[in-house]
Amino acid sequence: MKKYNVAILGATGAVGGEFLRLIAERNFPFAELRLLASKRSAGKKMDFLGKTYTVEEATAASFKDIDIALFAGGSISKEFAPHAVKAGAVVIDNSSAFRMDPEVPLIVPEVNPGAIAAHKGIIANPNCSTIIMVMALKPLYDLAKIKRIVVSTYQAVSGAGKEGIDELTDEVNAYVRGEEMEAKILPTTSMPKHYPIAFNLIPQIDVFLDNLYSKEEMKMVNETRKILNDYDIGITATTVRVPVYRSHSEAVNVEFEHDLELKDMAAAMDAFPGLKMLDDPQKQIYPMPLYTSDKNDCYVGRLRRDESQPNTFNFWVVGDQIRKGAALNALQIAEVMIEQGLIEEWQAKRGGVE
């Protein structure tokens, strides 16, 4: 099998580390591996598959001879993606920078793989909560057209990065010692006020917009429509940060244009790649973040009719947002491109690198 030169931008962060773990687990066919990060992290040593790599500072010249550039997310994507594309790489970006760009495909490989081929050098990875939700929605959407979605998310602190994880740990330790909990990160570093997340819930993820929804909530609305290529779906979201280290949970209410049978819905979801039913309420079997972390699949339970509204159903879906919600989804996009020869097609289309 052909091997590819791969760069990871943001290699020292939570998603960057997950990229490395998944590359090893999935025997991803890489030849050269280039680990890139900010100037602050440059020079750090990272051991991977028996070899010690030195993290390099990301510059405009970092992508020479790179075939696939995996961007772990952050504001630097906007700066470096054009340089990587100019050098001949395909960029798979985990930030929000390009998601709503009409020229950039927004991909969940199990849901809309056919959209990958339309890329122009950059492919966007959706928001983690969006990915987890559309994984559960797609098999149902294939059964009946969706009219409306109401979703409430319960999002782990690792969605805020390593700093969010550390903050929860520090606050719990302070509480146990009888000390005051000091909040510095959540709900978002860009806001003037911070609240403890330990033993608490924060009904804000990202900044609030003029319509009083948070940016995270509107990401779920807009990205879901783009991924499903259906801009008529009514969607409303409430996103909440919870004191859980890893894996996002979501309560989803879906109204369809016509009625469905629960058994057909459950069968379709359980048969869908990357999705598993974990649903036996009489035996207290349902998905929970503690037991779905570090798993590649998303898990669905609590599937039931909404008795207040015709053709409407509720379900609960949980997924590891660092895996399927970020690094795994991006790596799967690269695997589809390799399988379909789209890397070579892109490089041939460009007629060589500049």
Cα–Cα dist 338/68, whole Å: 10
Residue 103's CB: how many other CB atoms inside 10 A? Answer: 10
User: If you search the block for the tokens 């598993």, which residue do you land on?
Assistant: 276
Cα–Cα dist 219/242, whole Å: 19
* Contacts of residue 135, Cβ cutoff 8 Å, sequence gap at least 6: 108, 110, 111, 272, 274, 275, 298, 317, 319, 324
Token pair of 214, please? 């948070």
Token pair of 82, please? 């054009």
**Which residue from 233, 242, 333 is spatially nearest to 288, judged by alpha carbons?**
242
Helix-strand-coil percent breakdown of the chain, rounded to 5?
A: 35, 25, 40
Token pair of 172, please? 């719990």
The one catalytic residue in 83, 119, 128, 298 is: 128
Give catalytic status of residue 194 as yes or no. no
Cα–Cα dist 300/140, whole Å: 12
Determine contact, residues 30/337, Cβ cutoff 8 Å.
no
Give catalytic status of residue 128 as yes or no. yes
Cα–Cα dist 164/187, whole Å: 9
Cα–Cα dist 205/274, whole Å: 26
Cα–Cα dist 34/115, whole Å: 28
Token pair of 163, please? 């700093």
Cα–Cα dist 213/60, whole Å: 36
The one catalytic residue in 194, 248, 258, 298 is: 248
Token pair of 96, please? 């929000």
Question: Residues with catalytic annotation?
Answer: 128, 248
